[in-house]
Amino acid sequence: MDTEATVIDACDLKMVDPDKVAAVRLSLPEADDVVELADVFSLLGDPGRLRLLMSLLEGGEMCVCDLAATTAMSESSVSHALRLLRAHRVVSVSRRGRMAYYRLDDGHVRMLLDLGLTHTGHTVAIHPEVTGGDL
Amino acid sequence: MDTEATVIDACDLKMVDPDKVAAVRLSLPEADDVVELADVFSLLGDPGRLRLLMSLLEGGEMCVCDLAATTAMSESSVSHALRLLRAHRVVSVSRRGRMAYYRLDDGHVRMLLDLGLTHTGHTVAIHPEVTGGDL
DNA sequence: TCCACGTCTGATTAATTGTTCAGACGTACC
DNA sequence: GGTACGTCTGAACAATTAATCAGACGTGGA
Tell me which amino acid residue A104 is.
Answer: L
Residue A103: other Cβ atoms inside 10 A:
16
A108: contact with B, CB 8 A cutoff: yes
B125: contact with A, CB 8 A cutoff: yes
- Check residue B129 and give its pLDDT: 45
Share of chain A above pLDDT 70, in %: 78
- The helices-and-strands tally (H runs, E runs) of chain B is 6, 3
Cα Rg, chain B, nearest whole Å: 20
Determine contact, residues A43/A113, Cβ cutoff 8 Å. no
Residues in chain B within 8 Å Cβ distance of A108: 115-116, 118-119
Extents of the domains making up chain A: 37-119
List phi, psi (to 5°) of A84. Answer: -60, -50
Average pLDDT over residues B24-42: 94
Q: Pick the more confident residue, B5 or B40.
A: B40
Residues of chain A with pLDDT under 70: 1-13, 121-135
B129: contact with A, CB 8 A cutoff: no
CATH architecture of B39-119: Orthogonal Bundle (1.10)
Which nucleotide's C1' sits nearest to the alpha carbon of A95? D7
- Check residue A121 and give its pLDDT: 63
- Check residue B1 and give its pLDDT: 40
Residue A110: other Cβ atoms inside 10 A:
19
* Interface probe with A: pick from B19, B37, B98, B123, most Cβ of A within 10 Å: B37
Residue B5: other Cβ atoms inside 10 A:
6
Topology of the domain covering A37-119 = Arc Repressor Mutant, subunit A (1.10.10)
Q: Judged by CB atoms within 8 Å, which residues 28-67 of A form the interface with B?
A: 28-31, 33-47, 49-51, 54-55, 58-59, 62-63, 65-66
- Check residue B55 and give its pLDDT: 97
Average pLDDT, rounded, for chain B: 84
Q: Pick the more confident residue, B2 or B107.
A: B107
